[in-house]
Structure 1
Amino acid sequence: MKKSLLIILLAIWWHLLIWEAQLGLNVLLFSVSITAVIPWAKPKAFARSEVKYLLAAWCLSAFWVFWHNSSLSMVVYWLFGFITLGYLQEIQVRFWVFGILESIRALFGGWWLSIRHLGEQLGDKHSFLPSWRKVRLLLLPILIVPPFYLIYSQANTALGAFNDKLLEWAGALFQLDIDWSRFFVFLLGWAFIAAFLGYRTGVAPLHKWVANWVYPLERQRKRVWPARTMALKQEYQSALLTFTALNVLLGIINLLDIVFVWFSRQERTASELSAYVHEGTWLLIFSIVLAMLVVLGFFRANLNFFTNNQRLRQLAYLWLGQNAFLALSVGVRNGHYIHHYALAHGRITVVFFLALVLFGLFTMYLKVKGPKTIYFLLQTNATAVMIALLLAASVNWDKLITRYNLNQENPDIHHLVNRLDNNLTPLLNTAQGNTMLSDKLRINSLTRRGNRLESDWKNKDWRSWNWSEYRQYQQWQEYQKTLNN
């Protein structure tokens, strides 16, 4: 009962923080509040290291929302909250895919599992409450039907008109001013918190299946000699020929990249560079992913334990190394594009993606050398993706892009002023100068941006407070004083 009361109180706290407010300080307070009660509400789950790491990452992503207030930080915040949800259960989650499945299950049914568990507890302690089962049967449709009714009343004009008259009649009869949207937000928060703190055992067959999965690859011994040995030898020869041919082909590609990408001084037009990067980059990245699948296909099982397979391993290492060099060549292509045509979000995305590709190639090397299982690859690379997202959310990319581009020749002022949102501070700093660039910035409607920021800031309360907008607002106030003087 204490946990149920806590869930209701936290749902009210959620409603007070979120209702008619933008994301900022409120999500940081909410995440810290949930994390603070997890050790008491779910001590068994909190004892696991992966749960502690996920909760810490979720709170850190909430801090980035408070600090930078970027769209990326908000997406990462909800993503970490969703993933953490799946790990907070009685059975340990050892595979991230099953963790996501548990998150989906918890989000859509965790609240009902908590209600059912509460009923079981009440039934055990108070045998004189047999009516709880009937209450539970009524509670399910009461919770599920209203959201669908609200959706249908908005989509169907006839039902919407009937709904308006019904609310008007109910308000006149009971003297109530009913705001269904408030109820809906409270209900969402309650379901989310109940999934976080409520009792959930998890899907036992899934977790029993993965319980014996390990990182080291074990040899599969089957007594079908000599047919199996001959088949394995043929597979080894096929792999040897394949990796030899692929290494020769990729060696030619890398040699061409050294000549025409790394040390080329040829000037290219904007359209040539655009095709050079946008088309060539993603094709090369796709080829690297295919290369990793080729290695995975050949080194999936007993070929790892084949006698005298050192030559094949060396060819696989060379193939992975050449693909790593190819990824670096893609980075050089991207660098040429940034140098000639400034920095943008897409070009930063390429950098992060290439870093993950290089890490993936390294884990593939560890898999072949180990040998390791596919489970090792999936777990390790999933962790790398989560860390990369957390690192990406820690940077105000609009601000960084603006600072970099303003230091280049002929920056795209229209793009910086009208297409980016979280970059007013470097724009105002530059506009206070006496250069041609400062004049261009003053002409390109910085006043409109500043007035919009000031209006938004004054309409927000403490729940939506964030450092980024506060700093931009302070900078705008100083800029206005400079103009008045």
Structure 2
Amino acid sequence: MEVPHTYETLWRDVSPRPAAAPLTTAQKLLLPLGLLLFNWLFWAEKTGVNVLVYSLFIVGAQVGLLPRHAAARRTGLFWLAAAGSLFGGAMAAVYGSGAAVLATEASLLLLLGFANQPHLRLLAYALLTAAGGTLRAALAVPRAWQGRLLSGTGARRSWYYGRLLLGPLVVLAVFHGLFAVANPRYADLSGRALAAVENWLAQLWPDLSLGHLLFLGLGYVLTAGALVAVPVYYFADQESRLGEFVRRQRDRVASLGVRRPDFRARAFGALGLRKEWLMAAAVLGLVNALLLAVNIIDINWLWFGFVPAPDFDLAQFVHEGTYVLIFSILLAMALVLWFFRRNLNFYGPGLPWLRAGATAWVLQNAVLAVSVGLRNYYYVASRGLAYKRLGVCLFLLLTLFGLGTMLLKIWQRRSVYALVRLNFLAAYAVLLVLAAGNWEVWMARYNLRPGFASIDAGFLFDLPGRALPTLLAQRAALNQLPQLTSESYRGPVVISAADAQRRLDAAVDAWRQRQRTYTGWQGWNYADWQAAKMLR
């Protein structure tokens, strides 16, 4: 919620924004170097050492280009993002996983956001600041190369015309994708047209294609955003109006000396606050009683000695029940945020009772989250691990953390801004944990253990190449499982053990063939190197 401005905030809002200097000699050297490096590292390459090298380049450029007195150098979140960028790049060099790439990209964006506005504390605003600064830098660099300022009238004009150009192109791309999916004839004709453009570019420049041209454009935008700082103040100004704690709100109408009508007195006076407390107490009492009944049923049914019947549809029980219960927990959080958003936090006569009811509501939802985790566990124990099941586990951890921050809001009068800030930090920590895991190998190893009545063999064969040595080492388990399935557009299809063995050999051959196409060191990663060594 909004808090009154401090003198420092008011000065920052009304003071003129400093204009950024033109490009320095170092920036003019690093911009083409960064573009060439991006193209050399990533074009037609897989994930590997290239992510780590590019992260080192961006982090080094940011630290080297920052002045010694820059506020970002004294910001812990800036150094956290720098460490996360290098950690994600290192995990990409080890595993070559998509989670490591995602963690690196998020960390680099956070790094640029905190370098742009060091006083930011909300990670979401840092990401948005980095995105806005990157786009503005890409549009301002051509003018800045001529010695003009990066901010001011010229940059605003470039940003204005850039939006006029990019907006229609984005809309065109979205509708083109929709029409291509909905109309096969249109997709075929548009594909031919794009192929003709690529052929024309190939004749004009043999080593250049339309995809390569777009790739170079992406590299230019990223390099400009990483090396050239165009200040974006909007999100920093928005955050400066937010506080860590809820403050008591005075009635602005009364403070102006205006006589309020009776309905406003009832709505905003003490009587209205008491009515709001009565409504909150009634709602919390009823939903606590209802959730208590649900938790008692779940504890008696799921927590101790749960054995599904032979005809019990465990998949429907887990899928539908899990999603509904997760939505229920999120709705419960929204309910607490609504009741504790304003002056009800300061209603002395009924606040202890309201806090007790809200605390019981939060703790009961934590018990419900454990029940959801047990549903997920029973499914994993029966059908094996998959990406969604792993995602549910991590989401439940974040949910329990979020419920813990709800207690902070109830007992310490924390604001919604404080809760969002803490939960975004927790989500970033989970993303780094995801980047550090060799999840596909662990899933393959777990799913091939004896004791499963059925496993999705098609899912195992679609795992990345680093999981193939594990599958080959335990290929005998494919002959011992009672049932093997594979997903199709009609649903799960039962396959034979012999067919599974053939598909496994085909997956190994296809991966080896793909590996032969990568001759450079840019896409090298330890997991693929180890897999290739074991598959010889």
Q: Give yes or no for TM over 0.5.
A: yes
Identity %: 27
Contact residue 88 and residue 196 of structure 1 kept, 8 A: no
Task: Provide TM-score, normalisation by structure 1.
Answer: 0.83
Aligned AA (1:79): A
Distance 1:110 1:254 in 2: 54
Among 269, 276, 282, the alignment partner of 1:241 is 282
Contact residue 78 and residue 118 of structure 2 kept, 8 A: no
After superposition, the C-alpha distances for 1:383-409 in whole angstroms (9 at most, x for unaligned) are 111111221122122111111122232
Query: Is the counterpart of residue 476 in structure 1 residue 535 in structure 2?
Result: yes
Contact residue 55 and residue 85 of structure 2 kept, 8 A: yes
Query: Is the counterpart of residue 420 in structure 1 residue 449 in structure 2?
Result: no
State the 1:370 CA deviation: 0.6
Match of 2:315 in 1: 274
Aligned AA (2:401): F
Contact residue 48 and residue 96 of structure 2 kept, 8 A: yes
Contact residue 114 and residue 199 of structure 1 kept, 8 A: no
Among 515, 521, 526, the alignment partner of 1:457 is 515
Query: Is the counterpart of residue 327 in structure 1 residue 351 in structure 2?
Result: no
State the 1:4 CA deviation: 1.7
Contact residue 67 and residue 466 of structure 1 kept, 8 A: yes
State the 1:277 CA deviation: 0.6
State the 1:205 CA deviation: 4.3
Query: Is the counterpart of residue 38 in structure 1 residue 79 in structure 2?
Result: no
Distance 1:162 1:322 in 2: 61
Match of 2:5 in 1: none
Distance 2:223 2:332 in 1: 43
State the 1:470 CA deviation: 0.9
Distance 1:402 1:163 in 2: 41
Contact residue 113 and residue 199 of structure 1 kept, 8 A: no
Contact residue 78 and residue 110 of structure 2 kept, 8 A: no
Distance 1:68 1:178 in 2: 30
Match of 1:252 in 2: 293
Match of 2:344 in 1: 303
State the 1:319 CA deviation: 0.5
Distance 2:431 2:106 in 1: 10
Among 228, 242, 251, the alignment partner of 1:222 is 251
Residues 56-75 of structure 1: pairs in structure 2 closer than 5 A: 56-75=83-102
Distance 2:441 2:133 in 1: 37
After superposition, the C-alpha distances for 1:257-285 in whole angstroms (9 at most, x for unaligned) are 01111124442347621111100111011
Match of 1:401 in 2: 443
Match of 2:220 in 1: 190
Contact residue 38 and residue 46 of structure 1 kept, 8 A: no
Contact residue 136 and residue 230 of structure 2 kept, 8 A: no
Partner SS for 2:116? coil
Partner SS for 1:463? coil
Distance 1:160 1:467 in 2: 36
Task: Report the number of matched residues.
Answer: 450
Partner SS for 1:100? helix
Distance 1:386 1:209 in 2: 22
Match of 1:294 in 2: 335
State the 1:68 CA deviation: 1.5
Which shifted more, 314-323 or 455-464?
455-464
Q: Describe the shift of the 1:42–1:263 C-alpha distance in structure 2 as closer, same or farther (beyond 3 A).
A: same
State the 1:323 CA deviation: 0.4
Among 401, 406, 410, the alignment partner of 1:364 is 406
Aligned AA (1:66): A
Match of 2:103 in 1: 76
Which shifted more, 362-371 or 49-58?
49-58
Partner SS for 1:412? strand
Contact residue 334 and residue 350 of structure 1 kept, 8 A: yes
State the 1:55 CA deviation: 2.1
Match of 1:93 in 2: 120
Contact residue 291 and residue 323 of structure 1 kept, 8 A: yes
Aligned AA (1:211): S
State the 1:118 CA deviation: 4.6
Task: Provide TM-score, normalisation by structure 2.
Answer: 0.75
Distance 2:456 2:333 in 1: 42
Query: Is the counterpart of residue 209 in structure 1 residue 238 in structure 2?
Result: yes
State the 1:166 CA deviation: 8.5
Contact residue 137 and residue 224 of structure 2 kept, 8 A: yes
Q: Identify unmatched segments of 5+ residues in structure 2.
A: 1-24, 177-188, 255-259, 482-495
Among 13, 25, 30, the alignment partner of 1:6 is 30
Match of 2:230 in 1: 200
Which shifted more, 217-226 or 398-407?
217-226
Which shifted more, 158-167 or 45-54?
158-167
Query: Is the counterpart of residue 354 in structure 1 residue 396 in structure 2?
Result: yes
Distance 2:201 2:228 in 1: 35
State the 1:311 CA deviation: 1.1
State the 1:218 CA deviation: 1.7
Distance 2:78 2:111 in 1: 7
What's the Cα RMSD here?
3.3
Partner SS for 1:316? helix
After superposition, the C-alpha distances for 1:397-432 in whole angstroms (9 at most, x for unaligned) are 211111112223245373354232241122232248
Distance 1:323 1:365 in 2: 12
State the 1:106 CA deviation: 2.8
Which shifted more, 267-276 or 366-375?
267-276
State the 1:293 CA deviation: 0.7
Q: Describe the shift of the 1:199–1:108 C-alpha distance in structure 2 as closer, same or farther (beyond 3 A).
A: closer
Which shifted more, 330-339 or 263-272?
263-272
Residues 28-177 of structure 1: pairs in structure 2 closer than 5 A: 28-43=52-67, 44=70, 45-90=72-117, 92-120=119-147, 155=190, 168=203, 177=206
State the 1:10 CA deviation: 1.8
Q: Describe the shift of the 1:121–1:46 C-alpha distance in structure 2 as closer, same or farther (beyond 3 A).
A: farther
Which shifted more, 20-29 or 419-428?
419-428
Aligned AA (1:107): T
State the 1:242 CA deviation: 1.2
Q: Identify unmatched segments of 5+ residues in structure 1.
A: 124-132, 478-485
State the 1:88 CA deviation: 2.9
Partner SS for 1:358? helix
Aligned AA (1:33): F
Contact residue 414 and residue 444 of structure 1 kept, 8 A: no
Aligned AA (2:96): N
Match of 1:21 in 2: 45
Which shifted more, 309-318 or 257-266?
257-266
Match of 1:480 in 2: none
Q: Describe the shift of the 1:85–1:75 C-alpha distance in structure 2 as closer, same or farther (beyond 3 A).
A: same
Q: Describe the shift of the 1:364–1:116 C-alpha distance in structure 2 as closer, same or farther (beyond 3 A).
A: farther
State the 1:433 CA deviation: 9.3
Contact residue 217 and residue 371 of structure 1 kept, 8 A: yes
Distance 2:477 2:196 in 1: 59
Aligned AA (1:78): E
